[in-house]
Chain A
Amino acid sequence: MAVAERSVGERRAAIYQSGRDGQPDRAFPTPQQVAQAAREIVVPSPRQVIAANARRMKDASQFDQSMVLNMGPQHPSTHGVLRLVVELEGEEVVQLAPDIGFLHTGIEKNMEAKTYQKALVMTERTDYLGPMINNLVYALAVEKLLDCEIPPRAQVGRVLLSELTRMNSYLVWLGTHALDLAAMSVFLYCFRERELLLDIFELVSGARMHTSYIRPGGLAWDFPKEFKATVQHFLNIFPSRIDEYEALLTDNPIWKERTVGVGKLTAADAVALGASGANLRAAGVPYDVRKLFPYSGYENYDFRLITGTEGDTYERYLVRIAELREAVKIAQQALDNLPDGPYATSDRKIWPPPKEEITYSMESLIHHFKLWTEGFKPPKGDAYAAVESGRGELGCYVVSDGSSKPYRVHFRGPSFINLQALPHMAKGKVIGDLIAMLASLDPVLGEVDR
């Protein structure tokens, strides 16, 4: 492929141009290509890897030995409690199987036992690096069931908070990715900025990580009066900080040697594996839920759909960095256009009345009482909502049986599906590459296992 011979500089320029007017649109792979790719992809189970190794070793000569290395669940760079069963020949990966489930906490099942309002707090325990986006997807699904209107202030606020959450999520990705390749200062620089973001979350919601701020019907309460200035301060300094990270990594020869050409995922492979988010876009597939299926008014914002071409680790890095800059752009637009007005729906069946109203209105008192004791009851039916989280397409499917508790909640966790790509990517690579690939897929084990 001619594309593969392009220099790193050209690739970077292409990514920064992608999505601009007049640039060629990237295309989805054809169904035939995807079907072909799907036939070739194998995701073995841990047991299969161990058995295959035993079979191989039975008639292996002295110079043809391979071993099974058990990486994790306690390993410094599996990003949580992931266990990788790796068959190694020297340092070369013959095959590997991700073994998941060590962090399974039954979040989806637990949500069935809680009212719609209470189940919200479980959502941010899945992808604990993107709490607001998790809140949002659940809120969107429940709002679809309830068929309720969200006031503009809440809509714009949700977009703003989503983008701040995306930055938070990408900062942790960048930091841990760099740390996995031993560029440890980048990790601390990223966390320096993440601290500012967490301060913003704390300012609006009172909690740094588990915010529960975006709720079905609107926002938990109005933004504090310092909110605008605080976010503006962050948005002012952040672009120069992104330049700092880039100065340390983008043109660093060791960084490039470690990432260019490592963990390639073709467009057809990525679609066949169901990958989403930056992992998919880096492979050249122009898929972003914010663009294709806009929610919360994303169609009103001016931002670009960043796509890469190569689908290797370096490309995923470049795409995410470019998206970080886009996120700043969206957040700035949202902040500038944040309207005044109510922050939640005025439907008294969904959202409690203001406190002062309770003191003189009997009806309001009843609404308040019913909402906090029983909760609202969506009509029978089901709803699916999808958002673009920091890791990919995050979907939430809610089934209502007409009671005040969801009958079933299911998340389409992008981490879980992206992680499938690892065995395919890692074949024939060395351990050092494996670490880089895993980091650039950016799974959060809380979301993988749920």
Chain B
Amino acid sequence: MDFWIRLITQVIVAFILFLATTTAFAYLTLFERRLLARLQNRVGPNRAGPGGMFQPLADAVKLFFKEEITPTQADKVVYTIAPALAMIPAIVLFAVIPFGAYLDLSFLLGEAARIVPLQLADINVGVLFLLAVTSIGVYGVALGGWSSNNKYSMLGGIRAAAQMVSYELALGLSVLVAIMLTITPTTQAAADASLCSQIFGATPVESISALSTCRIVESQGGWWNIFKPTGLLAFGIFWLASTAEVVRAPFDLVEAEQELVGGFNTEYSSMKFALFFMAEYIKLIAISAIGVTLFLGGWRGPGVDLLYSLGYTNLGGLVSLGYFLLKLIAFLFFSVWVRATLPRFKYNQLMDLGWKRLLPMSLGLVAATAVFAVITQDMNPYIAGLFGAFRR
């Protein structure tokens, strides 16, 4: 019985999350267009609804009613499933992201909802899961480019495959730094007292891993990772690599419209195109959310812990969610700003940057983080915390 209740709640939460993500995507496009317009001395879409609020709706309706074209020479099966292959991983990413601490819905749903985490699932290999799912996204783009049987699409698909594979290494290594800076409890008592155990239930201390996204946020209670010396550098690498990973400007060579017309999605139209478009933006939100979780302290912010300790659980939960969204928007703002400012890289320069600069830098950074952690572990806890000593 308990199992079924859990299953049903999880499905409902997953559904809400799915709707929230797609809505967030729709309004991210509006946010980007309005912001770009502001940066470029334009007005931007402001006709549909107040301030253009219904513009995403209008876009969606338009895309739905567009004619769907499949090129006669295309590989039909691959051509059809490629958009889905791009879209699904982008959404699945959100499963392990902690949007906030927890709410108390017992007044609504009874004692079973005393603690409702603002995170769909906490798995102890959460970060590995994120990296794995991000990697799958490349299949959609590469296969979509290949199956269209168009020279531009093929070039776009090749670029996509090469780019995503190259930047995954630097991305993974910079994420590794965040994991190394995460401090996990070492005694059963400390584990039982920790926040994540309270939210998701007690676990034996041996199974607690620094790869869990919840633990990573929990450990940033003092210093956020971005305020730690190695963490700041890792954040820089993460930001570059993640921008390349989600093929945003200035790394948007995959769909460089000035060179490859539309890149991998040249032949796609209607909802198939819309799915690629959605996948790209949802991935952008997801990777920004990952950045917030790993480096910017997740939902942490001044006052959240205080509200919880005073017993205002729901207020604390909402404030924590607010902090998370605020950081996310700041991240996305930066992304749009960069898009408005910078020219695009060239393909060989992109490869140079990935392999010759970011990869050695991130390798060195991982080594440095480890060395610093070991050196500082016996110093006073203040310094040890700054450099991420392993034990507490």
Binding site for B on A (CB under 8 A): 67, 69, 75-77, 91, 178-185, 188-189, 192, 248-249, 252, 254-255, 257-258, 430-433, 435
A432 to B250, CA, bound (A): 13
Known: A76-B261, A77-B259. A184 touches B40 (CB 8 A): yes
Complex contacts, B259 vs chain A, CB 8 Å: 77, 431-432, 435
A185 to B42, CA, bound (A): 10
Q: Does B187 contact A (CB under 8 A)?
A: no
Q: Is the CB of A189 within 8 A of B258?
A: no
Ranked nearest first, the 7 interchain pairs of A and B with the lowest CB-CB distance are: A182-B344, A77-B258, A183-B343, A181-B343, A432-B346, A188-B40, A180-B258
Pair B344/A257 contact, Cβ less than 8 Å: no
The contact of B39 among A91, A185, A255, A258, by CB within 8 Å, is A185
Check if B256 is an interface residue, CB within 8 A of chain A. Answer: yes
Among candidates A182, A188, A255, A257, residue contacting B249 with C-beta atoms closer than 8 Å: A182
- Write the B234-257 contact mask toward A (1 if CB under 8 angstroms, else 0): 000000000000000110110011
Bound Cα distance A67, B40 (Å): 38
Given contacts A77-B259, A258-B343, 13 further A-B contacts (CB under 8 A): A69-B152, A181-B343, A181-B344, A182-B344, A183-B341, A183-B343, A189-B41, A192-B41, A252-B342, A257-B345, A431-B347, A432-B253, A432-B256
Chain B: interface residue total (CB-CB under 8 A): 27
> CB-CB < 8 A to B258: which residues of A?
76-77, 179-182, 435
List residues of chain B with CB within 8 A of the CB of A435: 258-259
Contacts A77-B258, A432-B259, A435-B258; A254 near B345 (Cβ below 8 A): yes
Whether B349 is near chain A, meaning CB under 8 Å from some CB there, is: yes
Q: Residue of B at shortest CB range from A182?
A: B344
Instruction: Please indicate the chain A residues that have their CB under 8 angstroms from the CB of B40 in the complex.
Output: 184-185, 188-189
- Residue B392 is within 8 A (CB to CB) of chain A in the complex: no
Which of A67, A75, A183, A249 has a CB less than 8 Å from the CB of B261?
A75
Select one of B152, B250, B261, B349 contacting A182, CB under 8 A.
B250
CA distance A425 to B42 in the complex (A): 36
- By beta carbon, the residue of chain A nearest B342 is A254
Tell me the bound Cα distance from A180 to B343 in angstroms.
9
| CA A184 to CA B42, docked complex, whole Å | 12
Q: Which residues of B contact A255 (CB under 8 A)?
A: 343
Residues of chain A within 8 A (CB-CB) of B347 are: 91, 430-432
- Which residue from chain B places its CB closest to the CB of A434 in the assembled complex? B259
A76-B341 in contact (CB<8A) = no
Residues of A within 8 Å of B340, CB to CB, are 184-185
B151 close to A67 (CB less than 8 A): yes
Decide if B380 is an interface residue (CB 8 Å cutoff). no
Docked pose: A179 CA to B40 CA in angstroms: 13
B73 CB-CB contact with A under 8 Å: no
Scan B341-370; emit 1 where CB is below 8 A from any A CB, else 0. Answer: 111111111000000000000000000000
Chain B residues within an 8 Å CB radius of A182: 249-250, 252, 256, 258, 342-344
Inter-subunit contact A252/B151 (CB<8 Å): no
Q: How far is the CB of B192 from chain A (nearest CB, A)?
A: 52
Known contacts A182-B256, A183-B343, A257-B345; A188 and B250 CB within 8 A of each other: no
Residues of B within 8 A of A258 (CB): 343-346, 349
Show 18 A/B contacts (Cβ-Cβ < 8 Å), sorted by A: A76-B257, A76-B258, A91-B347, A181-B344, A182-B342, A182-B344, A184-B340, A185-B40, A188-B41, A189-B40, A252-B342, A257-B345, A258-B344, A258-B346, A258-B349, A430-B347, A432-B259, A432-B347
Q: How far is the CB of B383 from chain A (nearest CB, A)?
A: 36
Chain B residues closer than 8 Å to A75, beta-carbon distance: 261
For A188, A189, A249, the residue with the greatest tally of chain B CB atoms inside 10 Å of its CB is: A188
Contacts of A181 in B (CB 8 A): 258, 343-344
List A contacts of B250 (CB < 8 A). Answer: 182, 254
Minimal beta-carbon separation of A244 from chain B (angstroms): 11
Residues from chain B with a CB closer than 8 A to the CB of A431 are: 155, 259-260, 347
Q: Give Cα distance in the complex from A189 to B259, angstroms.
A: 22
* A53: min CB distance to chain B, Å: 13
- A71 to chain B: closest CB distance in Å? 9
Chain B residues with Cβ below 8 Å from A67 are 151
Query: What sequence of 0s and 1s flags, for each residue 322-341 of chain B, a beta carbon within 8 Å of any chain A beta carbon?
Result: 00000000000000000011
Contact partner of A248 (CB less than 8 A), chosen from B341, B345, B346, is: B341
Chain B min CB distance to A179 (Å): 7
Bound together, the chains give a CA A179 to CA B341 distance in angstroms of 11
Contact code string B281-323 (vs A, CB < 8 Å = 1, else 0)? 0000000000000000000000000000000000000000000
Indicate if the CB atoms of B342 and A430 lie closer than 8 Å. Answer: no
Q: How far is the CA of A178 from the CA of B343 in the complex (A)?
A: 7
For B342, the chain A residues whose CB sits under 8 A away are 182-183, 252, 254
Expressed in whole angstroms, the minimum distance between the Cβ of A25 and any Cβ of chain B is 35
B151 to chain A, nearest CB (A): 5
Cα of A254 to Cα of B341 in the assembled complex, Å: 11
Separation of A409 and B258 alpha carbons in the complex (Å) = 36
Task: List residues of chain A with CB within 8 A of the CB of B343.
Answer: 178, 181-183, 249, 252, 254-255, 258
Q: Which residues of A contact B249 (CB under 8 A)?
A: 182
Q: What CA separation (Å) do A178 and B349 show in the bound complex?
A: 18
The complex places the Cα of A295 from the Cα of B64 at a distance, in Å, of 60
The complex places the Cα of A381 from the Cα of B64 at a distance, in Å, of: 65
- Nearest residue in B to A180 (C-beta to C-beta)? B258
User: What's the least CB distance linking B348 to chain A, in Å?
Assistant: 7
In the bound assembly, the distance between CA atoms of A248 and B343 in angstroms comes to 10
Contacts of A192 in B (CB 8 A): 41
- Chain A positions within 8 Å of B261 at CB level: 75-76
CB distance from B44 to the nearest CB of A (A): 12
- In the assembled complex, the CB of A77 is this many whole angstroms from the nearest CB of chain B, namely 4
Are B346 and A433 in contact, with the CB atoms below 8 A?
Answer: yes
Give A184 to B249 CA distance when docked, in angstroms.
Answer: 11
